[in-house]
Amino acid sequence: MKIKFGVLVAPVVGFALATALPLLAHHSFSAQFDGSKAIRVQGTLAKIEWTNPHTYFYIDVKDEAGVVLRWGCEAGAPAALSRRGFKRGDLKLGDTVIVDGYRAKDGSRLMDARRVTLPDGRIVSGASEGDGGPQVPQVPDPAGKKQ
Ligand SMILES: [Cu+2]
């Protein structure tokens, strides 16, 4: 009976670790994101976490029906962003921001931020290059036109 119990429990623990790790540790692009699913998200900054190894910012996006959906955007570490000209003072809550990147494989509202358009119009790297993913996302602009 003890062996059977172990067999039953192990898959549950394994699943919990597999789902928790991508957000906590460094990972390759393909572990979490889909390079064929480019996306542009434009909205207002709701929350930002300057944490290692990834900075996360959260953008509230209003859809055609007026429903606000929150997107999580994963960027590089704070120091890596700073080296690319994206510093803490560049974004404050409520600012309008555009993020270009790729959607999470699991279909959740999480994306890899490859490029960020700051409120002052500067376009800066999300500091996530080098993770094995595509470099420049080809995504529709907010008006629906192709870049
Ligand atoms: Cu990582």
76 Cα: distance to centroid of ligand 1 (angstroms): 7
User: For the chain, which domains are there?
Assistant: 27-125 (2.40.50.140)
Could you tell me the distance, in angstroms and rounded to a whole number, from the CA of residue 67 to the centre of ligand 1? Answer: 31
* Residue 111 and residue 104 in contact, taking contact as beta carbons nearer than 8 Å: yes
**What percent of the chain stands above pLDDT 70?**
75
Model pLDDT, residue 138: 61
Does residue 25 or residue 146 have the better pLDDT? 25
Write the pLDDT tens digit of every residue in 37-67.
999 999 999 999 999 999 999 999 998 899 9
pLDDT, greater one: 24 or 100: 100
Residues 100 and 73: their CA atoms lie apart, in Å, by: 9
- Tell me the CA end-to-end span of the chain in Å, nearest whole number: 62
Top-confidence residue, 104 or 136: 104
Looking at the chain, list the stretches that DSSP marks H as alpha helix, in order from N- to C-terminal side. 2-24, 29-32, 78-83
Helix, strand, coil distribution of the chain in percent, nearest 5: 25, 35, 40
Neighbours of ion ligand 1 (CB under 5 A): 26-27, 53
Residue recorded with tokens 């080809």: 138
What average pLDDT does the structure give for the chain?
81
CA distances from 85 to 48, 59, 115, 145 (A): 17, 20, 12, 28
pLDDT of residue 71: 97
Q: How far lies 60's CA from each of 4, 66, 68, 97, 119, in Å? A: 46, 11, 6, 10, 15
29 CA distance to ligand 1 centroid (A)? 8
What is the arithmetic mean of pLDDT over 14-24? 45
